[in-house]
Amino acid sequence: MARKTIVYWAPPTEIAALPNTAQNMVTNNLVKTRFIADKILDNIKKGDKVGLKVHVGEAHNTHYLRPDYVREVVKAIKFKRGIPTLIETQGRGSNVEKIEINNDYTICVGHRKSAAAHMEIAQLHGYSESVIGAPLRFIDGEEGIDRKIVKIDGIDLKEVSVATGLFDYDKLVVISHFKGHPFAGFGGALKQLGLGCVTKHNKHLAHFGSMFSVNSDICNSSKCNQECIKACSVGAINMNGKSAVINESICYGCFRCLQKCPIEKAIIRPTWNNIKKFVERFVDNAKAALSFGPEKIRYINFAFDIPAKCDCVSNASVPVIPDLGIFSSIDPVSVDKACVDMETDAPGLPFLNNNGEWSKPLGRGVEKFKALMPIVDTSLQFEAAVKNKIGSIEYELIKI
């Protein structure tokens, strides 16, 4: 029988400060972060350039991972004389959306589409060198399209555009905030690999069935000023006679051509993938990201402040289960499975509805994310990961 993967777990229990401060501080979750880091960062050597994959959170989201936890991991890497850098990639698409709350109040969401705007949100959320102790770098470039094409034999994909800067590091630590997700079911290490380490091209292909294309029967250059060509920032659109054509290998799904084209239905909008296809494709992406070298990667999942939706949306809801603690492993599948198993075993939390009434908490033994969002299925990630031979759902949980 194959040996089970070890998943280290630091429970979330904290004992309030009493006269014996040293004894009580051992239960502090920041201190436990260091204990977890020391268990798992055994592969880091002096002089190693270490990338820490993080997610800084979307604007107006208040449930992203606190930077304090990341700082403790940075300190642990520095203690081993590694050289840490926070790494991140741009969000899908190109538009910052304005939402009018009322006549006097408008908010903007979707800031993480370019390095400049993304950095502003990172600074606001404390993901800066002055707070964490390591600089933040966008490994897919200013617009999120700097890539290395990796060939794979995935479930649905045969090549993936991995962020080119990922390969500038000697070691990688994937730091994830465990929480729900409206399509993936949950977000953890697999999602950090599969959506957080690829460029916009494969972020788009996870969400949509194809890139943009042109309906040559409708497109007619005599009826426009070739606005689509002018709008495309990567030169993916050219003319073929009277009709435009889109090079789908270059397109990254920014929507600008569709927005600028004056001829209705000349540009074909891709359709959304169903849930299963979305999951399979981003797990394919994860397989490509692992070309970095699986043995050089470590995973830490922080299961604190766990809402139904993810850090990439502006309104993620309130926490739906109690804090579960900190999990770490050398296997992204095992560490995610441990989190989902504990989430299922945990009691749910009540929350107020729009009428000011408290909900009845979900009971133990109920997978909470699916119960709250019936269209999702957390098992899909594990099925796809096992099929892609990324890791194992069999693990041994070791409490520290």
Residue 240: exposure state from Cβ atoms within 10 A (0-12, 13-18, ≥19):
exposed
Query: Tell me: the pLDDT tens digits for 353-372?
Result: 888 999 899 999 999 999 99
Whether 297 has a pLDDT exceeding 50, the answer reads: yes
Across 110-130, average pLDDT: 93
Q: At what angle do helices 200-207 and 275-289 cross, to 10 degrees?
A: 150
What is the per-residue DSSP string for 58-77?
-TT---SPPHHHHHHHHHHH
CB 54 within 8 A of CB 175: yes
Whether 108 has a pLDDT exceeding 80, the answer reads: no
Across 222-227, average pLDDT: 93
Q: Contacts by 2-5 with C-beta closer than 8 Å and gap 24+?
A: 2/392, 2/394, 4/392, 4/394, 4/395, 4/396, 5/329, 5/330, 5/331, 5/334, 5/391, 5/392, 5/394, 5/395, 5/396
Query: Tell me: the pLDDT tens digits for 3-20?
Result: 799 999 999 998 887 766
Task: Break the chain into its structural domains and give their ranges.
Answer: 5-207+273-399, 213-268
* Size of the chain, expressed as the number of residues it contains: 400
Quick one: pLDDT at residue 209? 96
Place 1 in a pLDDT band, splitting at 50, 70 and 90.
very low
Q: Which two tokens stand for residue 203?
A: 């972020």
Place 2 in a pLDDT band, splitting at 50, 70 and 90.
low
In this structure, whether the domain defined by 213-268 belongs to CATH 3.40.50.9100 is answered with: no
pTM over 0.85: yes
Quick one: pLDDT at residue 20? 67
Distance CA 16, CA 12 (A): 13
Quick one: pLDDT at residue 106? 81
